[in-house]
Chain A
């Protein structure tokens, strides 16, 4: 093996070291966007309302006093309190922003401007990253909403689920998370441009929740334009071709099998004893296999129903057909590959101590990502307001008693 060893170089500098990110988020999207930047070395300062902070701190499930949802999303950051509705709070925020490189916020469009904290009110070099359900302009921009609306308006919800049932959402907030990833990408690109050109002018980035989902629709819209039929639920996903899908095994486990590509199809035909499939003109391309999926899937479903998950997975792997158990979190904690790759490492949560969370992603050879857990509310007030902004201890006390911090 000649690949650069992860261990030998893992103490190198993180690429975003020195970048200061202010996170004015609640729930997920701007929180996760800044969390990705933190994994690559940025210092993230979460600015929370002193009356209780991010609403995610109150969302189930709890381990003692800590929301595990908050613990998972809000790792690797500092927490300060600040009342942005208070004129002094707004002034302090502008001071803080003058020290920062990036701001991530997800208030309803117009809110930051109402607080005199809009892009033209703060540090002109700031990369000002904004998340909202419908974007910063357009007829729906002022409507309320959250993740579920992003998934619905973005077109994913309608197409997800079995044909004979209503559309079904994921229990995981998909549009919040993928919006966050796109946003962190755009922020990083803006940082790159500042570094390369030396032009530090600020940038405003406008990320709608529905837009991130829309960006994943791939050919859905083109297919509708070409055929006049809007893709619906219950068919294989076209890019999966067939045979493919979620199947039940003899021991009542769910497994996912993907036998639609040209290579996998030839292999699975051999495995199932259906070698005549390979020359059959009905199945001669991914598109045709997709169109004739029921015939192919029925044979695979029968075969799998007669085998345990372990047995079936073993055989399918032997024939190089993509397959996986449908893992739950408990399955993942016990999985040999997840363990070997340390995909669920321990973080140091500031409320409950050691806590296993999904690993930083992706992994870089040159440095190791931080594994600090979520902060308590206002935990870093002294450090940030005192050391970074330069507010005296006396004034901090006054600000606290006035409800500003």
Chain B
């Protein structure tokens, strides 16, 4: 743990030190994007309804009545409340906009405008990121959606699963995270441009678009070759032998021998004359006989323990991987040495173990994240210190239900 000497999670050496962002709306991707900006040193403020707050604050898994997910996706964020159903609340938010660099909103198309917050009236310097399930325009733009439906819509779910089996959702919120990282990157890019122009930008981010962006050759192959790529499980057709196999002691292992160099290394590791057959000489020969080759590797793997396989593969330089569980991740010495996990103190739950800020800036360690503020805990700071209201006005706004 690094002693920053203050209660602020950010440090002056962090790249986004001095940037202030507010997060509005309830989509996880917006909250996650906020946490990514705060990992880089930005001050991130959730502005939520005083009634009930953020629905994500109840996102499972819940342990001892506390959402562990919220502790992590909203980490280091401050919290202010503002009732946007009240015209005076909208006016307050407008005042706050004069003092922020970035707005991330996920009310859905027309949502901000519905509150009377016309985006054309935002300060020109503000970077506005609009996250919605299907983007700000197009025939589906009014439909709701989330990580799961975006995996499906984008094509990623169709490309994930066992061959011939059901499409399966990836087990973490990959569509949300792809969207969030892209939004955070685009926000910072817009801030770079703003240094020269003084102008922010309006960014339209659908939940599905980032997942679609990474579907590799599926679209051009459909366009040019008329082939419709589908899920091929653990054994791809265009590279072999390669896949996820089982060891003698029932552990899953990844073994990669697709390229010429890796195949030769695997031949050395296996010491099986059958696999050094000239029929398997080139990558295209190997991919044509992928099933046969993968069966040979499967049989080899099934006869050895995971330790034996790892030793043999590493000795020959074959890419070899274990399939880690949360337990493995929590104890692995490599992860410990690199500081990949962080424990964040939380008054009600105790320490919450979570992924550290990623990636690493070599030589400038990132301060550890903080637990998110409770709903409205930073009202005094946000409305008085930042937005410039007086303490008397704050008291009046509070008693009238505006914040």
Whether the pair B354, A222 counts as a contact (CB closer than 8 A) is yes
Whether the pair A214, B148 counts as a contact (CB closer than 8 A) is no
Please tell me if A172 contacts chain B, counting CB pairs below 8 Å: yes
Please tell me if B50 contacts chain A, counting CB pairs below 8 Å: no
Please tell me if B267 contacts chain A, counting CB pairs below 8 Å: no
Neighbouring A residues of B224 by C-beta, 8 Å: 63, 68, 352, 355
Whether the pair B190, A355 counts as a contact (CB closer than 8 A) is no
Please report which residues of chain A, range 206-226, place their CB below 8 angstroms from some CB of chain B when the two chains form the complex. 206-208, 211-226
- Which secondary structure characterizes the binding site on chain A? mixed
Given contacts A137-B338, A185-B185, A214-B358, contact A326 B157 (CB under 8 A): yes
Given contacts A148-B242, A160-B170, contact A286 B58 (CB under 8 A): yes
Neighbouring A residues of B152 by C-beta, 8 Å: 246, 254-256, 324-327
Given contacts A322-B148, A365-B202, contact A171 B209 (CB under 8 A): no
Please tell me if B88 contacts chain A, counting CB pairs below 8 Å: no
Please tell me if A350 contacts chain B, counting CB pairs below 8 Å: no
CA distance A186 to B189 in the complex (A): 10
Whether the pair A69, B149 counts as a contact (CB closer than 8 A) is no
Whether the pair B359, A332 counts as a contact (CB closer than 8 A) is no
Whether the pair A166, B234 counts as a contact (CB closer than 8 A) is yes
Given contacts A135-B338, A328-B230, contact A223 B63 (CB under 8 A): yes
Neighbouring A residues of B223 by C-beta, 8 Å: 333, 344, 355-356
Whether the pair A337, B323 counts as a contact (CB closer than 8 A) is no
Whether the pair A361, B210 counts as a contact (CB closer than 8 A) is yes
| Nearest CB of B to A254, in Å | 5
CA distance A357 to B259 in the complex (A): 26
Please tell me if B61 contacts chain A, counting CB pairs below 8 Å: yes
CA distance A320 to B142 in the complex (A): 10
A324 contact from B145, B201, B231, B361, Cβ within 8 A: B145
User: B339-359 vs A: 1/0 string, CB under 8 Å?
Assistant: 011000000000011110011
A145 contact from B151, B252, B321, B329, Cβ within 8 A: B321
A178 contact from B119, B135, B181, B197, Cβ within 8 A: B181
**Which of A53-61, A378-386, A392-400 participates in binding chain B?**
A53-61
Whether the pair B161, A168 counts as a contact (CB closer than 8 A) is yes
Neighbouring B residues of A336 by C-beta, 8 Å: 139-140
Neighbouring A residues of B168 by C-beta, 8 Å: 160-162, 168, 246
Whether the pair A332, B185 counts as a contact (CB closer than 8 A) is no
Neighbouring A residues of B225 by C-beta, 8 Å: 61, 63, 68
| Nearest CB of A to B75, in Å | 11
Please tell me if A371 contacts chain B, counting CB pairs below 8 Å: no
| Nearest CB of B to A292, in Å | 12
Whether the pair B222, A329 counts as a contact (CB closer than 8 A) is yes
Please tell me if A244 contacts chain B, counting CB pairs below 8 Å: yes
Whether the pair A172, B160 counts as a contact (CB closer than 8 A) is yes
Given contacts A159-B171, A233-B171, contact A148 B256 (CB under 8 A): yes
Given contacts A166-B244, A241-B60, contact A322 B213 (CB under 8 A): no
Q: In which size bucket is the chain A interface?
A: 35 or more
| Nearest CB of B to A190, in Å | 6
Please tell me if B271 contacts chain A, counting CB pairs below 8 Å: no
| Nearest CB of B to A160, in Å | 4
Whether the pair A317, B40 counts as a contact (CB closer than 8 A) is no
- Which secondary structure characterizes the binding site on chain B? mixed
Q: Which of A153, A218, A240 has the most CB of B within 10 A?
A: A218
Neighbouring B residues of A321 by C-beta, 8 Å: 144
Whether the pair A171, B232 counts as a contact (CB closer than 8 A) is yes
Neighbouring A residues of B218 by C-beta, 8 Å: 172, 328-329
Whether the pair A145, B139 counts as a contact (CB closer than 8 A) is no
Given contacts A137-B337, A145-B256, contact A183 B148 (CB under 8 A): no
Whether the pair B165, A285 counts as a contact (CB closer than 8 A) is no
CA distance A144 to B261 in the complex (A): 12
Please report which residues of chain A, range 120-170, place their CB below 8 angstroms from some CB of chain B when the two chains form the complex. 133-140, 143-146, 148-149, 152-162, 165-170
Q: Chain A residue with minimal CB distance to B140?
A: A337
CA distance A26 to B289 in the complex (A): 25
A40 contact from B177, B189, B209, B359, Cβ within 8 A: B189
Neighbouring A residues of B341 by C-beta, 8 Å: 221
Neighbouring B residues of A137 by C-beta, 8 Å: 337-338
Please tell me if B71 contacts chain A, counting CB pairs below 8 Å: yes
Neighbouring A residues of B358 by C-beta, 8 Å: 182, 207, 211-212, 214-215
User: A99-139 vs B: 1/0 string, CB under 8 Å?
Assistant: 00000000000000000000000000000000001111111
Whether the pair A2, B324 counts as a contact (CB closer than 8 A) is no
Neighbouring B residues of A85 by C-beta, 8 Å: none
Neighbouring B residues of A59 by C-beta, 8 Å: 238-239
Whether the pair B361, A140 counts as a contact (CB closer than 8 A) is no
**Which of A43-51, A88-96, A192-200, A271-279 participates in binding chain B?**
A192-200
Please tell me if B90 contacts chain A, counting CB pairs below 8 Å: no
Given contacts A188-B192, A230-B325, contact A219 B360 (CB under 8 A): no
Whether the pair A195, B192 counts as a contact (CB closer than 8 A) is yes
Please report which residues of chain B, range 143-169, place their CB below 8 angstroms from some CB of chain A when the two chains form the complex. 143-162, 165-169
Neighbouring A residues of B63 by C-beta, 8 Å: 222-223, 226-227
Please tell me if A269 contacts chain B, counting CB pairs below 8 Å: no
| Nearest CB of B to A18, in Å | 9
Which 10 pairs show the lowest CB-CB distances between chains A and B?
A: A15-B193, A159-B171, A256-B152, A149-B321, A224-B326, A207-B359, A329-B222, A362-B205, A189-B15, A185-B185
12 residue pairs A–B, Cβ–Cβ below 8 Å: A67-B217, A155-B329, A171-B233, A189-B188, A192-B16, A195-B192, A219-B71, A231-B326, A258-B149, A327-B155, A337-B138, A361-B210
| A145-B319, A181-B182, A341-B206 given; 12 more Cβ-contact pairs under 8 Å | A13-B193, A68-B221, A73-B216, A148-B244, A183-B359, A191-B192, A214-B329, A220-B172, A245-B148, A324-B152, A355-B223, A367-B201
